[in-house]
Amino acid sequence: MNIYDYADKIAHRISRIVVLTTFLILVLIFLFILNESLSFLGSGFSDTILSVSWRPLSKNPSFGMLPMILGTLYIGFFATLLALPVSLGCASFISCQVRGRLKYLMLSMMDMLAGIPSVVYGLLGFYTVVKMLESTGLMAAGESIFAAIITLSVMLIPYMASSYVKAFEEVELMYGFQTRALGVSKWYSMTHLVIVHTKGHILTGYMLALSRALGETMAVMMVIGNSPILPKLFGKGITLSGLIALEMSGAQLDSLHYQSLYTAGIILLAFLLLINLLIRKIESWVKSNEI
């Protein structure tokens, strides 16, 4: 055996250890959250989770998480649905219509937008979207599910678009020359070739954005009002992650309130896990269809 084989073996071992550690950390996080919420789940109050009344500190506490669960899903789905067409348009423009320096500029601007901390988007939403809704006179307080959807979708657009640009560029590289040679219009090649060819990628990108939307805390928390009531488009609402961030600091250690917040964490984790599984399924489905 020469030195390269040894080096290879060592590198292999180390990367295996790193992967195992990552996996272990994930399992430990899950076990920790489960452990913290276990005594709540066995306390007899756990059946109140599916009610609508969140009163963790009153004499007859109830821990209805339906408003948060529905609020999270409502905002996640609508924000991603709103962001999807815009991101597709944005990505197709960057990948097919512009070239050279302008393209580079646009891509780096997009990456910069994707990197802005969410609290900045939240502040922006608070001073623009919320304010605008108030000035229309539609609502007394602009904090609403609607404001959260708008803020979140603006946040998701650069994230979604930059993942689509890469997929679209690949198609452009493969077929761009041929389609132009055949005289196919750009619009036709976009709708009949690029989108059709990358539909699996579009779907996984959508799911990734959705999982990000469900977990988004700060930006949403600043524009939604944080009221534990059932979500209505022009009403206040709350999300699971918002609930945890809002109340964890005030919850007394090891109280039912504290443990119920960990239970909210488990529910959120379950959603994210489900979406990740779906992404894997879609990816393998796309691969098997391509060949």
Partner 1 sequence: MKRILILIIVASMLLVFVGCADDNTPADDGSGVQEVGEIILTGSSTLAPVVTQLIAEFMETNVTWDKVDSTFPAEEINIVINGGGSGAGISSSIEKTANFGMASKNVSEEEQAKFEGYSQYKLGTDALTIAVNPSNKIYESQDGFTSEELQKIFSGEYLYWDDVNSELPHSEIVVVTRDIGGGAHEVFQKKIMGEIEVSLNVIQAPSMGALVAKIIDNENAIGYASFGVVNQNEAKIIPMSVDGVDPTQENIISGDYKISRPLLVLKNGEMSPQEKALLDFLISDRGMQVVSELGFVPEN
**Given the complex with partner 1, which of 142 and 205 has the nearer CB atom?**
142
Contacts of partner 1 in 136-155 (CB under 8 A): 140-143
* Rg (alpha carbons) of the chain, rounded to whole number: 23
Output the six-digit token pair for 224.
């939604």
> x/- site string to partner 1, residues 172 to 211, per CB under 8 A?
----------------------------------------
Contacts of partner 1 in 221-250 (CB under 8 A): 221-222, 225-229, 235-236, 238, 245-247, 249-250
Question: What is the closest distance, in whole angstroms, from the C-beta atom of residue 229 to partner 1 in the complex?
Answer: 5
Bridge partners, residue 225, by sequence: 237
Amino acid (one-letter) located at 86: V
Q: Rounded CA gap, 92 and 90, in Å?
A: 6
Q: Rounded CA gap, 55 and 213, in Å?
A: 26
> Are residues 218 and 118 in contact, defined by beta-carbon separation less than 8 angstroms?
yes
Beta strand 62-63 pairing with 54-55: antiparallel
Amino acid (one-letter) located at 21: T
Count of residues interacting with partner 1 (CB under 8 A): 40
**Given the complex with partner 1, which of 48 and 198 has the nearer CB atom?**
48
Query: Is 51 a binder of partner 1 (CB under 8 A)?
Result: no
Answer for which of 57, 174, 270, 274 binds partner 1 (CB under 8 A) is 57
Question: What is the closest distance, in whole angstroms, from the C-beta atom of residue 226 to partner 1 in the complex?
Answer: 4
Question: What is the closest distance, in whole angstroms, from the C-beta atom of residue 64 to partner 1 in the complex?
Answer: 10
Query: Is 253 a binder of partner 1 (CB under 8 A)?
Result: yes
For 180-235, what is the HEC assignment? Answer: HHCCCCHHHHHHHHHHHHCHHHHHHHHHHHHHHHHHCCHHHHHHHECCCCCCCCCC
> x/- site string to partner 1, residues 91 to 130, per CB under 8 A?
-----------------------------------x----
**Given the complex with partner 1, which of 36 and 134 has the nearer CB atom?**
134
> x/- site string to partner 1, residues 7 to 36, per CB under 8 A?
xx-xx--x----------------------
**Given the complex with partner 1, which of 76 and 142 has the nearer CB atom?**
142
3-state class of 58 per DSSP?
coil
Q: Which stretch binds partner 1 (CB under 8 A): 26-34, 47-55, 150-158, 186-194?
A: 47-55
Residues constituting the chain: 291
Q: Which stretch binds partner 1 (CB under 8 A): 34-42, 52-60, 80-88, 162-170?
A: 52-60
Answer for which of 2, 4, 187, 288 binds partner 1 (CB under 8 A) is 4
**Beta carbons within 8 Å of 236's beta carbon, 6+ residues apart:** 141, 143, 144, 145, 224, 225, 226, 227, 229
Burial class (CB in 10 A: 0-12, 13-18, 19+), 80: buried
Q: Rounded CA gap, 77 and 65, in Å?
A: 18
Distances (CA, A) of 238 to 4, 43, 71, 117: 56, 25, 6, 20
* Residues making contact with partner 1 (CB under 8 A): 4, 7-8, 10-11, 14, 53-58, 126, 131, 134, 140-143, 221-222, 225-229, 235-236, 238, 245-247, 249-255, 257
